[in-house]
Amino acid sequence: MKAPLTFYFDFISPYAYLGWTQIHAIAARHGRTVLPIPILFAALLDAHGHKGPAEIPPKRVYIFKDVLRTAHQWKVPLGPPPAHPFNPLLALRVASLEMDPDAQKHVIDVLFRAVWGGDGPGVTDPTVVAELLSEEGLDGEGMVHAAQGETAKARVRKATEEALHAGVFGVPSVLADGELFWGCDAFPHVERRLEGADPVDAIDLGRWAALPAQSKRKAAQ
């Protein structure tokens, strides 16, 4: 069995939504499966001392334009969520509940559509999330109840900590045969990795890692 493609994501990210619509086809072309890992993007930002894209006004505007262009290119439905940023924890915890892979994919599909699929209700209200899942034939009420328990909360925390340990700093990120790739624009590189044609393999990365720093940016006052 070939190793799955590990897909780290947070529902708050439009790029994670777009990536989710593409990663399964990439995996299938190379005889792989997808292992989705819901993680908290805000915790990555805190750990690395970064601002979120939505917290930088010019970047926020640019990103929404960019995701619209990408969605158009990929023919993926896209619409704005009710608010952004928003608290994604309930959705992350629901998506991380123990279930078979097909059910988990279904749940993630539903929740992503509710945020980014166009005129969706979002995923912050427990009643709304339960109704969304129930409409899809799932035990929405039971899943939301389970997601509010300590076990589900701990599972997302643990997944986020493990992602940080693996070097993840943004979403979506894909771990393919031990190599980490960040962002939808890296998906062609993922495919080259799976084909055994990653040019990085032929380069002495030690020379790059050992580059000295000649200047240091002052911390903001």
Q: What is the reported pLDDT for 220?
A: 53
3-state secondary structure of 181: strand
Query: Residue ranges of the alpha helices (H) in 148-203?
Result: 150-165, 187-194
How far lies 173's CA from each of 90, 131, 168, 179, 207, in Å?
Answer: 21, 30, 7, 10, 25
Q: How far apart are CA 152 and CA 203, in angstroms?
A: 42
More confident residue, 41 or 213: 41
Domain 5-209 annotated CATH 3.30.540.10: no
Work out the average pLDDT over 49-76. 94
pTM of the model: 0.95
